[in-house]
Structure 1
Amino acid sequence: MVCNRLVIAGIMVTGCTGSDGPSPFDSAATATMGTTNASDATSSPTTAAGTGQSTGSGSDGVDEDTGFKFDLEDPDSPGGVTMGCDKVDLLFVIDDSGSMSDNQDKLTAAFPGMAQTIDDTLVAQQGIDYRIGVISSNITDETMCLLGALCGPGYLGRLQHDEGRVPCSDVPTGRWIEGSEGAAAVGDQFTCIASLPQAQDFNGIPEGGSEAPLEATRMALVDRVADAEQYNLGFLRDDALLVLVLVTDEDDQSVWMTATNWPLFGGPGSIAPVSDFHDMLVGLKGGHPENLVAVAISGPASGGGETDAPRIHAFLDLVAPNSYWADISGSDYSTPLQEALELIEGSCENFIPPAG
């Protein structure tokens, strides 16, 4: 089902474990959302029962001839406002560790098909305005930058807009990809920038990286907007559906980054509760959980060995029913990306526009 407005903000793929610790987000939390079980899904939208069925709700307002969803005034929404989205901000958070090169290749191979589907349906038929940002899940501390570690575009939440691991010239003209450039250009630009260079240590030696997609997301949408550099200012729009796409083969290892709390020197610090990141993101979307979507291509919640990602699955549970999981070990990511797009379309129907 296609909705009137759509905004994709982020997609994360990662995995890690950790215990709850002090939270840096107390002031940002504005709303919470009930949880459902997302850990049983395999390449399909998450559901309470783990059956692979989409959890998007609502079928009112569907034209029986076209199948399109039109904006309707919802009596249960704040002030009876018209629900639905016409913008999508999509943020891909990609693991740059050495074990991820093949997975990055599968992602970039499958993405042009997703871009074409967006162009053929959401853009051509509904006039959806979408944009795509890419960042690394690596949260190397600023201090490490002075010692030779990777810390340019893509790192510490900065949007990646340069040539990645694979030589290419189709880089975006700005710091993110605009859907208005058309599916072919969007596909080429994503393929160019999403193959991230392998993480390095402070001696410039390839290393495992610090897979912290949730903290990297916070840095991208909060720190890199509010600091003096304002590197990502303008990417996140108040009136857009935010979509996070997480791609990783390890669990989230997010800590609250400060001058004395980093994972590469004497660390790691205390693992931040997953709920803090969820509440922070809901706060950025006006306190409306409906305005957030999370997609993860990662390991399972358990039983996957080193790829187990219980924290990522806990995050998906909090975002449910607007969440989707696919197994990072799959041979082709085309189907997961297309199914995630279906979830995004359904989530757009329940988007609550900002007041005014």
Structure 2
Amino acid sequence: DDDDDDDDDDDDDDDDDDDDDDAPKFDIGEPHTAGEPLDECDKVDFLFVIDNSESMEDDQQRLIAAFPEFMEGIQETLAATDYHIGVVTTDEHIWDWPNDQNGVDPECAEYGSLVRTNYRWATGQVEDCGPWVDGGRYLTEQDPNLAEEFACAAYVDDEGSTNEAPFLAIEGALATQPSPCNDGFLRDDALLVVVLITDEDDDVEPGGNPGSGGTPQIWYDMMVEAKGGDPNAVAFLALAGTVDCSYEHTVRIEELVGLFDDNGFMGPVCEDNYAEFFREAIPVVDDACDELVE
């Protein structure tokens, strides 16, 4: 019987190996060792994860309106002067089937690919938001019309899938899978700031919408792993359904924010103006940046 148990253990080990093979491979380069401070926090990678389902057009406009003041506050407050700013949606562009008419790159029509094309489904109008100074699918502080160009990328329309899966999008944005769509965005020596804007929780819904799958702890671990296992290298900001909103309370997202402790911050997506949220988020980002060099 002991031999049988040993065989079972071997089988379990094999299964674990298979699971490891299936795990996402994150594009983390050669990250600094977890807990090892950087010489300085001079770089920040901002990933905006924007719900593009049918209820989100007004929320996108509020985000766009608040962005210039947020970035001005970041530049005035943080020691960091080098920024990457990327946008992803909560679906895989299933409404933007790649073709010659809508301008969507076939290689980039998947979860987590950074947005550079502004495509209006209702009119068929296409606007290429780039080219951007760094040559990639993300903005930097060097782009001369940063607010206007962010507005182009962040107005992701409201014709996206009702199966919102923001954490699949985050996983894709931080992993090697969308490459070359996201080449150069994530840097191992930068603070990662994920900003999620959604009015719905990421969970299994009636009717078969599975969301991202996983749990808040799994999502937290995924983001930290993408930064070399250093929890100090990630900040998570969420505009979502708080108890103050009349619609869905996004309890799983709220739980995730709590896992980030001082590096997490959440506000109500139902507010008419997001300026106050982003003003209060600036010290969170600043403290997270300081923590990397202490």
Q: Normalised by the size of structure 1, how large is the TM-score?
A: 0.63
Aligned to 1:136: 89
Q: Which residue among 101, 123, 143 is the counterpart of 1:181? A: 143
Alignment-mate amino acid for residue 47 of structure 2: L
Greater C-alpha Rg: 2
* Aligned 8 A contact 1:91 1:134 in 2: yes
Residues 55-84 of structure 1: CA deviation (Å, up to 9, x unaligned): xxxxxxxxxxxxxxxxxxxxx954xx4564
The two structures, once aligned, show a CA RMSD in angstroms of 3.7
Q: Which residue among 202, 223, 235 is the counterpart of 2:185? A: 235
Q: Does 1:161 align with 2:116?
A: yes
Alignment-mate amino acid for residue 197 of structure 1: D
Q: Which residue among 215, 240, 246 is the counterpart of 2:168? A: 215
CA separation in 2, counterparts of 1:154 and 1:345? 34
Q: Which residue among 147, 159, 164 is the counterpart of 1:199? A: 159
CA separation in 1, counterparts of 2:21 and 2:246? 31
Q: Secondary structure at the match of 1:283?
A: helix
Residues 103-138 of structure 1: CA deviation (Å, up to 9, x unaligned): 11111011111122233444xxx3521110000011
CA separation in 2, counterparts of 1:331 and 1:320? 27
- Tell me the CA shift for residue 230 of structure 1: 2.7
Q: Secondary structure at the match of 2:201?
A: coil
- Tell me the CA shift for residue 199 of structure 1: 2.6
Q: Normalised by the size of structure 2, how large is the TM-score?
A: 0.75
Using a 3 Å threshold, how does the CA distance of structure 1 residues 267 and 279 change in structure 2: closer, same or farther? same
Please identify which structure carries the higher helix content.
Answer: 2
- Tell me the CA shift for residue 305 of structure 1: 5.2
* Aligned 8 A contact 1:93 1:244 in 2: yes
CA separation in 2, counterparts of 1:330 and 1:317? 21
Q: Secondary structure at the match of 1:237?
A: coil
Alignment-mate amino acid for residue 215 of structure 1: L
Using a 3 Å threshold, how does the CA distance of structure 1 residues 275 and 139 change in structure 2: closer, same or farther? farther
CA separation in 2, counterparts of 1:177 and 1:193? 10
Aligned to 1:52: none
Unaligned stretches of 5+ residues in structure 1: 1-22, 30-75, 201-207, 255-262
- Tell me the CA shift for residue 198 of structure 1: 2.3
Q: Which residue among 320, 335, 349 is the counterpart of 2:261? A: 320
Q: Secondary structure at the match of 2:292?
A: coil
CA separation in 1, counterparts of 2:181 and 2:67? 25
CA separation in 1, counterparts of 2:128 and 2:181? 22
Alignment-mate amino acid for residue 196 of structure 1: V
Using a 3 Å threshold, how does the CA distance of structure 1 residues 237 and 139 change in structure 2: closer, same or farther? same
Q: Does 1:281 align with 2:223?
A: yes
Aligned to 2:280: 339
What count of residue pairs does the alignment treat as equivalent? 258
Residues 3-38 of structure 1: CA deviation (Å, up to 9, x unaligned): xxxxxxxxxxxxxxxxxxxx9999579xxxxxxxxx
Q: Secondary structure at the match of 1:163?
A: strand
CA separation in 2, counterparts of 1:120 and 1:162? 30
Unaligned stretches of 5+ residues in structure 2: 1-18, 26-33
| Deviates most, 85-94 or 317-326 | 317-326
Q: Secondary structure at the match of 1:114?
A: helix
Q: Which residue among 195, 213, 224 is the counterpart of 1:271? A: 213
* Aligned 8 A contact 1:139 1:210 in 2: no
Alignment-mate amino acid for residue 55 of structure 2: S
- Tell me the CA shift for residue 170 of structure 1: 5.2
Residues 168-211 of structure 1: CA deviation (Å, up to 9, x unaligned): 675452300011235xx1111111110112235xxxxxxx5221
- Tell me the CA shift for residue 271 of structure 1: 2.9
